[in-house]
Structure 1
Amino acid sequence: MFPNLELVKMVADIENPTLFSHDLKSADILFLDLIVSGGNINTLADFIADIPILIITSAISRWQYPEFIKNREHFALQKPISLQMFQSCIEKAIQP
C-alpha cells in the first residue's frame, strides 16, 4: 500500500543497540515504540539522533515521552493505530 516505504529491520529487543546501529544510521524513518524489552529506551538517544523522521508508535501519552524525544521533532501514532491514522502520519512526515 505504501510503495515508497521499505521495511529494513524490526528489532524486538534493545539490550544491545550496537547490533542494529548500522541499520539505524541508514534509516530515513524510524518507527519507535517507547515500551521496549531488553533495555532502557534512553540508551537509544545517541543512536537515533541523526534519523531525519521519528514516528512514535506508543500507547503512552506524550507527556510521558523521554526528554530525548520531547526535545526533537517527531510524529506520534497513538495506539491502537488504524490504517487511516498510519496513512495520514506518513503523508505528513514525508511531505516536502
Structure 2
Amino acid sequence: MLIVAGKGYVEPEHRHALLAGLEASVREARAEPGCLDYVVAADPVEPGRVNVYERWVSEDHLAAHLATMARPGRPTPAVLGMEIARYEISGSQPVQM
C-alpha cells in the first residue's frame, strides 16, 4: 500500500476557489482502480493551507493516476508552495482507543 500525504499553500482568499475547482478531480480519483482514499481539504488552523491525503493499493495504481493528471485541460491552481511525500506501507491495523 502507498500513502501520499502532504500540504500546499495558497493565498487564504483563494483557498475556497481552489478546493471547489478540485472537487471533480477528487471524485474522479476516488473512482479510479486502486484508489482506497483521496482527500484534499482545508486545514482548520492555517487559512492558506490545504492538506492532501491519498491511499493507493500499489505503485502501478498510483502511476496510472499520476498519468491522468498530465492530461491537458486539468486546472493548475496557483500554489505558493507544496510539500508532498510518498510512503510505502507494509502493514496496518486499527488504532485501539
TM-score by length of 1: 0.29
Larger RCO (CA within 8 A; separation ≥ 6): 2
- Higher-Rg structure is 2
TM-score by length of 2: 0.29
